[in-house]
Amino acid sequence: MRPARACARPTRAWARSTRARAGPTCVRASLAWACATSLSLRFHSRARGRCAVTRASLAVSVPALEAAQHWLQNAVAITAFAEPAEIPPAAGAAGMLAGSARLTAEQCLDIYRIDYQARLLETMRHQHPSLRVLLGDELFDDFAADYLRSHPPRSYTLARLDEDLADHLSAQRPDRDAPPAQREAWIDVMIDLVRYEHAFAQVADGPGLEGLPDRPPPALAQHHIDTGKARVTPAPCLRLLNVCAPVHSYHTDVGQGRRPAPPVPDPAHLVLFRHDYRVLTTAITPGAFALLDALTQGAALADAAEAACVALAEARHHLRHWAAQRWVRVSHLTDQHTLRPACTRQETSP
């Protein structure tokens, strides 16, 4: 009863993706523990043609609910994406589940496995729509099944199902032992697209600044910034991301229903931020990115400017603009400077 292609081996998925590059597309719940918590244990004995449960049989046969939940979790979740030959016999299924005139207890358990597998694959498709377009449906499912076999869900929420996907792809890529300059660029694009989609979801679903005053404190526009003491606190909905290609533009196009060409390698330095419940992605210069990265990690403005090779006057200018955008809050302010936008903004929410 298991789908023939329930899960592809890592080598199969990577081999398929390598062959796909020559084609037109080129770079082509935690059991939600719903099954366990809704499990109804049926123990039956025949009495006048009907199922009956006696107190004696309950006392002897019915396991504790926790034990039943663990049994179902192991029987369903651990084997959901295994190859058919790797699935051990469903030992104890007949003692935990009641069959029917048409299905044995083991066949009923297989239905749980298939449904669980389908739910997780559907979640992965929802979390990475752009990667699915890039790879195609079948190849995407191969990669997702390989990932889920190695990283079964451990959280109470499926929102965290894909949190290790980028690291998994990096560890499994066939050219992982080659020097960076000799690695396949299309794999880097694929992994950075995964990282971007995950960061986008974090910003969209996480805490933000909605409901707070729209303008920064007036003192910021009226005072100098103490370069030796100034520190910043990043907004909770701020994320910084270095990528090897404009995957943010690709993600936007897919979200708007288009089918764009695969991203061409071209490094970008991205800032993701949420405003009025819309995720905004801004591409900034490498120097500005290094400055903002150092500041959000706790460096003083003078130290961050030196590390990023940015002049102090330019660093002040950037910081004032970022504070006006509400990306950061600045402490230790001490003459007024004219502000000018330091970067351009691109909306990426569909």
- The string of pLDDT tens digits covering residues 112-166 is 888 889 999 999 999 999 999 999 999 999 999 999 988 988 888 899 999 999 9
Q: Are residues 164 and 216 in the same domain?
A: no
**Using one digit for the tens of pLDDT, what is the confidence trace for 184-237?**
999 999 999 999 999 999 999 999 999 887 665 544 555 566 667 778 999 999
Q: Are residues 239 and 298 in the same domain?
A: yes
Taking the C-alpha atoms of residue 56 and residue 53, their distance in angstroms, rounded to an integer, is: 8
Q: Are residues 215 and 136 in the same domain?
A: no
Q: Note whether residue 179 is domain-resident.
A: no
Check residue 225 and give its pLDDT: 67
- Comparing 305 with 231, the larger pLDDT belongs to 305
Check residue 153 and give its pLDDT: 87
Helix, strand, coil tally for the chain in percent (to 5): 50, 10, 40
Q: Structural domain of residue 253, as residue ranges?
A: 184-347
Q: Are residues 132 and 258 in the same domain?
A: no
Domain edge (last residue) among 140, 172, 204: 172
**Using one digit for the tens of pLDDT, what is the confidence trace for 82-104?**
666 666 655 567 667 777 888 88
Alpha helical stretches, state H, 206-311: 219-222, 247-255, 286-296, 301-308
* DSSP secondary structure string for all residues of 30-84: GGGGHHHHT------EEETTEEE--HHHHHHHPPPHHHHHHHHHHHHTTTTTS-G
Query: Is residue 40 packed enough to be buried (19+ CB in 10 Å), middle (13-18) or exposed (0-12)?
Result: exposed
Q: Note whether residue 15 is domain-resident.
A: yes
Q: Are residues 16 and 103 in the same domain?
A: yes
Q: Are residues 224 and 323 in the same domain?
A: yes
Q: Are residues 209 and 291 in the same domain?
A: yes
Check residue 101 and give its pLDDT: 82
The pair of three-digit structure tokens given for residue 212, joined into one six-digit string: 């707070």
* 3-state SS assignment for residue 3: coil
Mean local confidence (pLDDT), 282-288:
97
Q: Are residues 340 and 264 in the same domain?
A: yes
Q: Note whether residue 227 is domain-resident.
A: yes
Domain edge (last residue) among 172, 206, 234: 172
Q: Are residues 146 and 234 in the same domain?
A: no
The pair of three-digit structure tokens given for residue 271, joined into one six-digit string: 């800032």
pLDDT band at 257 (very low <50, low <70, confident <90, very high): very high
Lowest mean pLDDT among 24-38, 135-149, 163-177, 303-317: 24-38
Domain edge (last residue) among 172, 194, 222: 172
pLDDT band at 26 (very low <50, low <70, confident <90, very high): very low
Q: Are residues 149 and 44 in the same domain?
A: yes
Count the domains in the chain.
2
Residues of the chain with pLDDT > 90, as a percent, come to: 49
Q: Are residues 195 and 255 in the same domain?
A: yes
Q: Are residues 193 and 298 in the same domain?
A: yes
